[in-house]
Structure 1
């Protein structure tokens, strides 16, 4: 199966999940994450804000902020095809729903930061393989981010167990993650 077909298949599978299942499995994944040494030792964490039945990150962001972690969220810049990294200080008051339907920082709360401060990055995907490769939405935003020379952070994919397969097709520009956390296990590719 090619990337386009895999993208469609796993997007449909994730969309078919019931909200209570998404919430329950997300809690298991986040509980696993906060018990890891990488979380405990990181003072600056980049995380996506969940969208379309992704592993829910809102409560994680609130928890991490209360745990005195710096939280960095991505802003999708369609013109440059890059992610802008912005520090988030208040999950409940600094975000709005963008024209793409995603939560992003309001203009007044964009606090751009450099990727070199990141110690842990939570990477979204539609599907991962056991080697840490991923298929996202197809824009290459995260592959570009993870290719940047100043990025030395530990990268962690968080996904539901059904989103992990043996092997995916990969291209030269694809960047694998260091770990994957699911509702059933932690994988070290």
Structure 2
């Protein structure tokens, strides 16, 4: 059904995946520099000393240079490790090793911390396929981050990391979708005034 948010999301994800695949290497390189600069700016402006981030997949906005900066600046970075039950374990990133986890995505190697370890961070950075200025985030359909964010009692600011063209007018929303406080793109840091985390 065209009006069904699930159907709309599937169509939108397919379009966004194709857009990411057709980026040139120079576009990717410029985007990586901008993302790194803006993630650092956001981290400094929030005063975060502990963050949750992730290792970007090849077609995602690059997070590794930012993660290198966190290690060099004494900022504790927790990175997710997917579990079969739909929850995320975490490990503290030291910049040394990564592996391929569930779904063929890059994941860190390290001592496992339980799902509630994320409760101690000051800032959460999440991957996204798209986000709108109401703070509605669309992921890639597995629900890991929606589950994690939905289970947190005192959630710190949450920012989606996307390319500029992925901040769109409206993202189809379903009941389980968790809002974000803002987005980081290669050219800007957006804060969504209307986003409410309940």
Distance 1:99 1:74, change over 3 A: closer
Preserved CA contact (<8 Å) 1:119 1:153: yes
Q: Structure 2 CA distance, aligned partners of 1:153 and 1:96?
A: 28
Q: How does 1:71-110 map to 2 (within 5 A)?
A: 71-77=77-83, 79-89=84-94, 91=95, 93-98=96-101, 100-106=103-109, 109-110=110-111
Q: Structure 2 CA distance, aligned partners of 1:39 and 1:75?
A: 27
Partner of 2:70: 64
RMSD: 1.8
Note the residue ranges of structure 2 that are not aligned, 5 or more in a row.
Answer: 3-7, 193-198
TM-score, length-normalised on structure 1?
Answer: 0.89
Partner of 1:177: 180
Partner of 2:55: 49
The structural deviation recorded for 1:10 is 0.5
Distance 1:37 1:82, change over 3 A: closer
Q: How does 1:100-179 map to 2 (within 5 A)?
A: 100-106=103-109, 109-112=110-113, 114-179=117-182
Q: Structure 1 CA distance, aligned partners of 2:31 and 2:22?
A: 14
Note the residue ranges of structure 1 that are not aligned, 5 or more in a row.
Answer: none
TM-score, length-normalised on structure 2?
Answer: 0.85
Structure 1 segments, 4+ long, off by >4 Å, are 37-40
Preserved CA contact (<8 Å) 1:34 1:40: no
**Of 51-60 and 31-40, the range deviating more from structure 2:** 31-40
Preserved CA contact (<8 Å) 1:47 1:73: yes
Task: Indicate which of 10, 16, 38 corresponds to 1:10.
Answer: 16
The structural deviation recorded for 1:188 is 1.7
